[in-house]
Structure 1
Amino acid sequence: MPKYHEEIDAVFRALADPTRRAIVERLAKSPAVVSDLAAPFAMALPSFLQHLSVLEGAGVVTSEKLGRVRTVSLRPGALDVLHLWLGEQRTPAEHRADRLGIHLALTTPKEN
Structure 2
Amino acid sequence: MLLLSTISEASYPHAQGTTSKDLWPSLQQAYAAHSSSREYTLKTQLLKLEMKPDEPASTYLTRAQDYSDALANIGEPVKEKDLVMLVISGLREEYNGLKSTLLARQAPTSFQELR
Normalising by structure 2, report the TM-score: 0.28
Which has the larger strand fraction?
1
Normalising by structure 1, report the TM-score: 0.29
Which has the larger helix fraction?
2
